[in-house]
């Protein structure tokens, strides 16, 4: 099997997440709350991406930040990429999930309510 060439090194994934959150929420502070980091960390991540790209992505104002033309142009690609990552992560979790479930119930509930419903549950949840 042939080895694929290495991917070009881009900015850190956490920096890209900070950019996407700040762009979507219009605020470094709100992005920081969502990502459980400080607003300063979000600002540093965004600055790192801007330095890497060689271009500013936001217009900074006292009341928050707003994407500039370059930021608006690239944001949909990052949103799509994060949607793909979320979908792949969900698929991985489902594939790795155990195929066995345990149901705890009082004996009377198990016999009178659960037992008649088990065949349907097995069909719906294989």
pLDDT for the residue 31: 97
Residue-level pLDDT at 20: 97
What's the chain's Rg over C-alpha atoms? 23
> Angle 28-35/13-25 helices, nearest 10 degrees?
130
Condensed to tens digits (0 to 9), the pLDDT of residues 47-105 reads 999 999 999 999 988 888 899 999 999 999 999 999 999 999 999 988 877 777 788 88
Q: Look at the block and give the residue holding tokens 């060689």.
A: 54
How far apart CA 70 and CA 54 sit, in angstroms, is 11
Mean pLDDT of 14-21: 96
Average pLDDT over every residue of 98-124: 85
Confidence at residue 67, expressed as pLDDT on a 0 to 100 scale = 96
CATH architecture of the domain 13-99 equals Orthogonal Bundle (1.10)
């Amino acid at each position: 099997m042939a080895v694929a060439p290495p991917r070009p090194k881009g900015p850190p994934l956490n920096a890209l997440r900070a950019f996407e959150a700040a762009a979507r929420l219009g605020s470094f502070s709100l992005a920081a709350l969502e990502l459980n980091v400080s607003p300063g960390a979000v600002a540093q991540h965004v600055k790192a991406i801007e330095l890497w790209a060689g271009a500013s992505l936001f217009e900074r104002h006292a009341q928050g930040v707003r994407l500039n033309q370059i930021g608006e142009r690239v944001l949909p690609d990052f949103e799509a990429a994060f949607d793909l990552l979320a979908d792949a992560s969900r698929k991985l979790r489902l594939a790795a999930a155990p195929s066995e479930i345990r149901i705890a119930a009082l004996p009377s509930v198990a016999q009178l309510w659960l037992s008649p419903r088990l065949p349907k549950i097995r069909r719906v949840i294989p």
